[in-house]
Amino acid sequence: MSVTPQSEPISKIKENQVLKLLASGKRLDGRSLLDYRSIKVEVGVIDKAEGSAMVSLGNTKVLVGVKVETGKPYPDLPNQGALTVNAEFVPLAHRYFEPGPPDENSIELARVVDRGIRGSESIDLRKLVIGEGSTVYVVFIDIYILNHDGNLIDASALASVVALLNSKVPVYRVDENGIKKVDEYFPMPMVDCPITITAAKINDKIIVDPTLDEENISTAKLTITLTKNGNICAMQKSGTGTFTIDEITNIQKIAREKSYEIRKKVFGEE
Amino acid sequence: MIMFEKRQLVLPGDLIAKGDYIAGENVYKVKDKLYAQKIGLIDFDGKKVYIIPLKGRYIPKVGDIVIGQITDIGVGSWIVDINSPYSATLLASDVTGKPFSPKTESLTKILNIGDVIIGKITAFDRTKNPSLTVKGPGLGKVSDGIIVDITPTKIPRLIGKRSSMLNTLKEETGCDIVVGQNGKILIRGKNFKMVELLVKAIRMVDEQAHTTGLTDRVKAFLSSSIKGG
Amino acid sequence: MTNKKLIDENGLRIDGRRLDEIRPIKLEVGLLSNADGSAYIEHGRNKIIVAVYGPRETQPKHIGLVDRAVVRCRYHMAPFSTDERKSPAPSRREIEISKVIREALEPAIFTEYFPRSMIDIFIEVLQSDGGSRCAAITAASLALADAGIPLRDLVAACAVGKIEGKLALDLSDIEDKLGEADMPIAYMPSLGRISLLQMDGVFSEEEFIKALNMAKDACLRIYELQKQCLKSRYVSI
């Protein structure tokens, strides 16, 4: 059951400060409305994982580990590898995170990241088959939130894509006894590089990459994932506020521009 | 301009007026447009546009007579279910007339869980639950009779203009009726058939409150049923 | 996996609809006597019942908010609602859908009128065939109105998708499984606001803008059906 969340108490003074700055096109940390915080990316931080990446978006810190195992394919997709995305809002990441099974926020985040990767068919799952119809590779993307200062989803999605692009798939050979792991690897077959952009609405102003304070003041957020050629492969509105059609049309334009910018910044010329 | 006629049915989100009007009960205003908040009948009083809702929970008002049931006992008070999102508090000192001493007195001997009372709302605001008193004529513990539930928003219709409907019900059936603003009606009558008839008549009001000519129809129903035996 | 054609040579879909047609909708309100408000919808083969309780006392007390009512929303699918039996335990999908439905309806409710209380919306999907979250929202709006809860507007919901490269309204389950995109939206027509927007699959910018407007127009049609249903319940004698 989904319950209206307790809002994190934010001081009136801070809230007024944020609103005043927004009116003149600026934010608390000096950014303009459509600026992202500084992005830091580290790859291969967990060498026991088949792939990994740590992304910092300002103070938000997310670690993603990719594990590649073997398993049965989905019954209606026998010639494709499988993909599972899970997110943990670890208690050390924020004073209000409690240990326990994933709550609706971490489930929503995992599912939106999943849709962005799946919808864009970024992983060529057909190359992740070991024995057609019987054994395939199962790619586990585990998102670990280490510090929550807003916009967990963009950071998680970026870390997931970076981790995948740097993942190695262990080779399995099929013999009469079943499957055998050999000491060879091939790179994760990636054909796209989706970038996720989240915008938040505060009164009638639209900002991108909200900090936690900005998220707590905002009434609604819109997350859009875009492929390399600017197509939309996932969208999610969240929060108890609303958007007009014009606002949505405008936000997807902004998201497209930002996605090109960030893809270039993180991956160079692609 | 007002887009509807008096007593027309409106639905939530309906644009009911545009211009220099005042948003009354169950109406909200955005810039110069007035919208309905609930299903109900639109009415206006000069520049004020309001809606008589067909359904809704009872929200206490100071001075309301309510009929409630004791659901819990606190240290020096009872918790009363008054058919509202907010339980009411009845202090022991209100009933005994003096400060309550837990050492020498037992609340359950005075009023126990399940007891029904007629009370009056003495205080209510957004920060704490409503308070009740049972001091006053006609108030106190109910020892007999039956309780009928109707939608709280229909209570004004049950009473009628200058109590016309309520008087009709009392006169035709000879029963004693106490009306709680919270949608609870206490009926006491010596003749069981009359009590049954009265319950039916009250149901009629609950279902047809939004129609015209209801008082006459209820009167006709009662007289013909009484004659028919 | 069969190579099923979703659109035939006459431009008709598997169930005979054209690309811009919504499945037939049946709405009923006030069918449960215990709930404060209730509604039932049949949208295509979806069959969904919604009950609203409230505003009522918060349970447990500590989840209450000082300045407005808490909204609790549960979207749950019956085990017999899908082709393959679904376990009664809440799945991750149901948890996410419960959240987005609550966030689609909450903006319509004047929660600030009922501090420290709770409004419950219970959605049971008795049979599911694609677009169930939209049908649930359409019915839940009626249940909220039926309960006499003050609303800014009714919320109407509909999805638009892409099958065999063409934009199509209101995808059924099989069209969603075999199609290239699905985008459910929820809309409040009087205020022109979108309260739910999700999308999976791929849309170009042009397709997206066209799809968004198609879905909005479909919501307007469904809004009229909602109004008709409420009006007919209170027809004068």
**Residue of chain A minimizing CA distance to C216:** A245
Q: Which residues of B touch C195 (CB under 8 A)?
A: none
What average pLDDT is seen over chain C? 94
Size of interface A-C (CB pairs under 8 A): 122
Distances (CA, A) of A60 to A17, A34, A41, A63, A209: 22, 18, 12, 10, 11
CATH superfamily of B65-142: Nucleic acid-binding proteins (2.40.50.140)
CA–CA gap between residue C160 and residue C210 (Å, rounded): 10
CB atoms within 10 A of CB C21: 15
Q: Do B54 and C234 touch (CB under 8 A)?
A: yes
pLDDT of A270 strictly over 80:
no
DSSP assignments along C74-102, one per residue: EEEE-TTSSSSPPPSSPPHHHHHHHHHHH
Domains belonging to chain A, first-starting first, are: 28-267 (3.30.230.70)
d(CA B183, CA B82): 9
Predicted local confidence at residue B102, as pLDDT: 72
Q: Does B11 touch chain C (CB under 8 A)?
A: yes
Task: Please say whether the beta carbons of A64 and A142 come within 8 A.
Answer: yes
Q: Tokens for B171, please give them.
A: 């006169």
First to last CA, chain C: 56
C184 within 8 A of C196, measured Cβ to Cβ: yes
- Tell me if C97 sits within 8 A of C157, measured CB to CB: no
Residue of A nearest to C96 (CA): A108
Query: Given A4, A115, A243, which is nearest C71 (Cβ)?
Result: A4
3-state helix, strand, coil in chain B (%, to 5): 25, 35, 40
Q: Judge contact between B180 and B166, C-beta under 8 A.
A: no
Predicted confidence (pLDDT) at residue A7 exceeds the cutoff of 90 = no
Q: Each residue of C189-221: pLDDT tens digit?
A: 999 999 999 999 999 999 999 999 999 999 999
User: Where in chain B are the domains?
Assistant: 9-53, 65-142, 146-228
Task: Give the number of beta-carbon pairs within 8 Å between B and C.
Answer: 84
C112 inside 8 A of chain A by CB:
no
Query: Is residue C63 included in any domain, yes or no?
Result: yes
- Between C50 and A95, where is the model more confident? C50
List b or e across C132-159, with b for residues whose CB sees 16 or more CB atoms inside 10 angstroms.
Answer: bbbbbbbbbbbbbbbbbbbbbbbbbbbb
Given a cut of 60, is residue C2 above it in pLDDT?
no
Q: Is C134 helix (H, G, I), strand (E, B) or coil?
A: helix
Asked if B127 and C188 come within 8 Å (Cβ–Cβ), the reply is no
**C-alpha R_g of chain A:** 20
Q: B146-228 domain in CATH 2.10.109.10?
A: no
How distant, in Å, are the alpha carbons of A15, A31, B170, B214, C225 from that of A24? 15, 12, 68, 61, 44
How many Å apart are CA B76 and CA B105, to the nearest integer? 10
Query: Which residues 118-157 of A are in CB contact (within 8 Å) with C?
Result: 118-120
The distance of C13 to chain A (nearest Cα, Å) reads 22
Torsion of Cα atoms, A4 then A9 then A15 then A18, to 10°: -80
A228 touching C (Cβ < 8 Å): no
- Where do we find the tokens 């069969």? C2
Report the C-alpha gap between A67 and A170 in whole angstroms. Answer: 10
The stretch A3-26 carries a mean pLDDT of 88
Q: Report CB contact under 8 Å: C145, B211.
A: no
CA separation for the pair C58, C66 (Å, rounded): 11
Contact A2 C200 (CB under 8 A): no
Q: How confident is the model at residue C237 (pLDDT cuts 50, 70, 90)?
A: very low
Q: Is A4 on the interface with C (CB under 8 A)?
A: yes
pLDDT, tens only, A129-152: 998 888 999 999 999 999 999 999
Predicted pLDDT at B229: 54
Q: Is B221 helix (H, G, I), strand (E, B) or coil?
A: helix
Chain C residues at the B interface, defined by Cβ less than 8 Å, are: 36-37, 54-57, 66, 69, 110, 114-118, 145-154, 188-191, 227, 230-231, 234, 236-237
Does B153 contact C at CB distance below 8 Å? yes
Query: How far A9 CA sits from the closest chain C CA (Å)?
Result: 12
Q: Retrieve residue A80's tokens.
A: 């494709």
C193 lies in some domain: yes
Q: Which residues contact C61 (CB under 8 A, 6 or more apart)?
A: none
Phi, psi of C121 (to 5 degrees): -125, 115
- Tens digits of per-residue pLDDT, A182-237? 889 999 999 999 999 999 999 999 999 999 999 999 999 999 999 999 999 999 99
Q: Six-digit token pair at C91?
A: 């799945």
Report for B195-209, C8-22, C43-57: range of highest mean pLDDT: C43-57
The CATH number that applies at residue C37 is: 3.30.230.70
Q: How many residues does chain B have?
A: 229
Residue B7 Cα, gap to closest chain C Cα (Å): 11
* A268 dihedral zone (left: phi>0; alpha: psi -120 to 50; beta): left
- Per-residue confidence (pLDDT) for residue A263, from 0 to 100: 95
Q: How far is B104 from chain C (nearest CA, A)?
A: 31
Q: How many domains does chain C have?
A: 1
- pTM listed for this prediction: 0.92
Which of B11, B52, B81 has the highest number of chain C CBs within 10 A, making it the mutation to test binding with C?
A: B11
Please report, for chain C, how many H helices and E strands are present, in that order: 4, 9
What range defines the domain where residue C141 resides? Answer: 25-233
| Interface contact C95-A2, CB threshold 8 A | yes
User: What pLDDT is recorded for position A208?
Assistant: 97
Residue C1 — very low, low, confident or very high, per pLDDT cuts 50/70/90? very low
State the nearest Cα–Cα gap between C7 and chain B, in angstroms: 38
**Residue B176 DSSP label:** E
Contact check, Cβ <8 Å, C230/B11: yes
Distances (CA, A) of B64 to B86, B132, C22, C138: 14, 10, 49, 36
Tracing tokens 């739910």 back to the chain, one arrives at C196
Question: Smallest Cβ distance to C199: which of A1, A227, A232?
Answer: A232
C26 pLDDT tier (thresholds 50, 70, 90): very high
pLDDT at B226: 80
| CA atoms within 13 A of residue B54's CA, in its CB half-sphere | 29
In a domain, C10, yes or no: no
pLDDT of residue B224: 86
Q: Do C193 and A230 touch (CB under 8 A)?
A: no
In this prediction, residue C161 carries a pLDDT of 97
* Domains B9-53 and B65-142 agree in fold: yes
Task: With respect to residue C16, please indicate whether it lies within any of the assigned structural domains.
Answer: no
Residue A269 banded pLDDT, cuts 50, 70, 90: low
Q: What does the CA dihedral B21, B23, B24, B28 come to, rounded to 10 degrees?
A: 150
Using CA atoms, how far apart are residues C229 and C234, in angstroms rounded to an integer? 9
Contacts of C140 (CB under 8 A, 6+ apart): C39, C50, C52, C73, C101, C105, C121, C123, C155
Q: Would you say A153 and A111 are in contact if contact means Cβ atoms under 8 Å apart?
A: no
> What residues does B23 pair with on adjacent strands?
B49
Q: How many CA atoms lie within 13 A of A60 on its CB side?
A: 26
10-residue mean pLDDT profile of chain B (229 residues): values are: 89 95 95 95 91 90 95 90 93 84 78 93 89 93 92 90 89 91 93 89 86 85 79
**% of chain C beyond a pLDDT of 70:** 97
Chain-chain contact of B57 with C37 (C-beta, under 8 angstroms): no
Give this complex's ipTM.
0.93
If residue B186 lies in a helix (H) or strand (E), which one and from where to where?
A: strand B184-188
Q: Which residues pair with A62 in a beta bridge?
A: A55, A145
C37 contacts on B by Cβ (under 8 Å): 55
Instruction: Measure in Å the smallest separation between the Cα of A100 and chain C Cα atoms.
Output: 15
Contact B126 C154 (CB under 8 A): no
| The listed CATH number (1.10.10.10, 2.40.50.100, 3.40.50.720, 3.40.718.10) that belongs to domain B9-53 | 2.40.50.100
CA distance C136 to C128: 11
Question: Is A237–C201 a contact, with Cβ atoms under 8 angstroms apart?
Answer: no
Confidence of residue C3 (pLDDT cuts 50, 70, 90): low
HEC secondary structure over chain A: CEECCCCCCCCHHHHHHHHHHHHCCECCCCCECCCCCCEEEEECCCCCCCEEEEEEECCEEEEEEEEEEEECCCCCCCCCCEEEEEEEECHHHCCCCCCCCCCHHHHHHHHHHHHHHHHCCCECHHHCEEECCCEEEEEEEEEEEEECCCCHHHHHHHHHHHHHHCCEEEEEEEECCEEEEEEEEEECCECCCCEEEEEEEECCEEEECCCHHHHHHCCEEEEEEECCCCCEEEEEEECCCCECHHHHHHHHHHHHHHHHHHHHHHHCCC
Put simply, the answer to whether B13 touches C150 (Cβ < 8 Å) is: no
Indicate yes or no: CB of C117 within 8 angstroms of CB of B85: yes
DSSP 8-state assignment for residue C7: B
Q: Answer for the pair A103, A89: CB distance below 8 angstroms, yes or no.
A: yes
Question: C98 and A2 in contact by Cβ < 8 A?
Answer: yes
Please name the chains neighbouring C, where neighbouring means 3+ C-beta pairs under 8 angstroms. Answer: A, B
pLDDT at residue C36 greater than cutoff 50: yes
Helix, strand or coil for residue C48? Answer: strand
Please list every residue in chain C whose beta carbon sits closer than 8 Å to the beta carbon of residue A236: 100, 197-199
User: What number of residues does chain C have?
Assistant: 237
Which of B39, B53, B85 is nearest residue C54 as measured by Cβ atoms? B85
Nearest-CA neighbor of B157 among B207, B106, B109? B207
Report pLDDT digits (tens) over C157-183.
999 999 999 999 999 999 999 999 999
DSSP-assigned letter for residue C24: P
In the predicted structure, residue C145 carries a pLDDT above the cut 80: yes
